[in-house]
Structure 1
Amino acid sequence: MYKLKSKATPLFFIGPAVLLLVIFSVVPILISIGISFTDMNLIGLANWAQIKFVGIENYIDLFTDKVFIKSIGNTLFYVIIGVPLAVISSFVIALLLNQINKWLSATFRIIYYMPSITNIVAIAVVWGFLYNQDYGLFNYILSVFHIDGVAWLENPHIAKLSLILMAVWKSNGVSMLIFLAALQSIPRSQYEAADIDGASRWQKLIYITIPAMSFATFFVTVTTLIGWLQFFEEPFVMTEGGPLDSTNSMALFIYQEGFQFNEFGYGAAASVVLFAVIILATILQFKLRKSE
């Protein structure tokens, strides 16, 4: 009886969390997969009898949809450029904060973390002024050096990079804290031994800091990758996917199809594709981690 109770105790504590996970994550995923094989729209939502099973027709249409294909390419661009920038910049900030005075470090931690908890609309308003082609700060700085102003959000070739810059600035706070915690957990004795051996700062970084930070780097990379695959808020608020769908992401495409055009079946199919991409990317990360 005692053994049975000891085994049941952990289940008692994790049970509510698992139940919430099933209700708010697993069940919606299964429902979305089911909806993706139908032509469900606003009419079908009002009258379920109007919903028809269409098989894989939505998926076939998706991969012949130029907007969806473009959103995939845009999302890959965001991931390829944004993830390394976000991980490396937050790591560098953590390294710098770990070197300065304790009280000064605490002040800068708050400053760098604030954008992560600031409302995206407020951030968009501020960055909208910075990017403004006529009187924005960035173009003013360029004008000081006699360089023509840039259409940061109006040029299809530059708009994605503009959103990436804003997103990296906004998201650095959380990753920076994780890296900083990992840095502060490295035993000082390792650095003292390296000092005795005459190691330079660069050698200590390469042979002590980076290897000791491997799990933190892995965790930050995986979570950052998942976040950038779901890139939504920045293009939704700043550009609405324009100009010419140049900033449209897979997540924004799903929103547009499901909630603007009310094509729930089509949008659900796109969400299943995105879900599959996230799962595959995460599995690949774990495989690479295991091989290392």
Structure 2
Amino acid sequence: MEEIKNQEIEEEAESGSIMEKVYIAVGNDVQEGYKTIDWAIKKWNNIPISIVLLHLCNISQDFVYTPFGKLPASSVSEEKLQVLRKYEEQKIDKLLSKYIIFCGKLQVKAELLKVEKQDDSIQVLILDLISKLRITKLVMGITFMRSSSSRKSKSAISGSFYVYQNKPDFCEFYIICGGKMVSLKRENDVNNNNNIRSWIGKMFHDPGRNLDRSSANNDDPTSSGSPWDRNLQEIENYFLQLLSLNLEEEEKTKTVSKKQRKKKKMTWH
């Protein structure tokens, strides 16, 4: 991390101008990663920026992925274990090189910051990076949070909310799903189940597209249909679960209140 920071300072001194640095956390879904990068570039298209692509390397020490599926590392010889892990590293490097090439096509300078997964949760790791690197602008693709052992959408959502709630004030934080920004502030008009889908729809904002910048690549991967619809049902189901818990709690409270009122009436009689 220190190496990257020093390199940035030297490059800025040589150029004579300080560029706005935007950190973009990308996951293993390359199409989603393209859309996240594309959103960030369009967001700050009026100012000179450089990009740091943040990627979580989550190569397990306990398991390996083979043509036969996920196996305990202890079941594979040391020689084969090294080959399989080398293959996993090459896959990650290939993925990250695609992101770098994509940024180059959009005429934006980019560098990589690979972070090893530790015992702490991803959200704690992100908060630690924000503080240590003084990250003032962080754009996170929703699939980045799925780079942990749990790939459920609700884990990604709750982890993202945790970062949002606990980040330092100096950091602007954005979550992107399918090339659209997820609003982390709950709307006041969510009063019943009928409003849920429309509320979820309002969570996603599409920034104005800058054709001058993106037209440089005619087969831009971000021009394909938005995948956020795939996540919509999962998000809605998760929200419904939360809502049902609240409704159950309210119902219990009402029942207890009714019993208490009834008891009071009986006492007065």
TM-score of the superposed pair, with normalisation by structure 1 = 0.19
TM-score of the superposed pair, with normalisation by structure 2 = 0.20
Higher strand proportion: 2
* Higher RCO structure (Cα 8 Å, ≥6 apart): 1
Higher helix proportion: 1
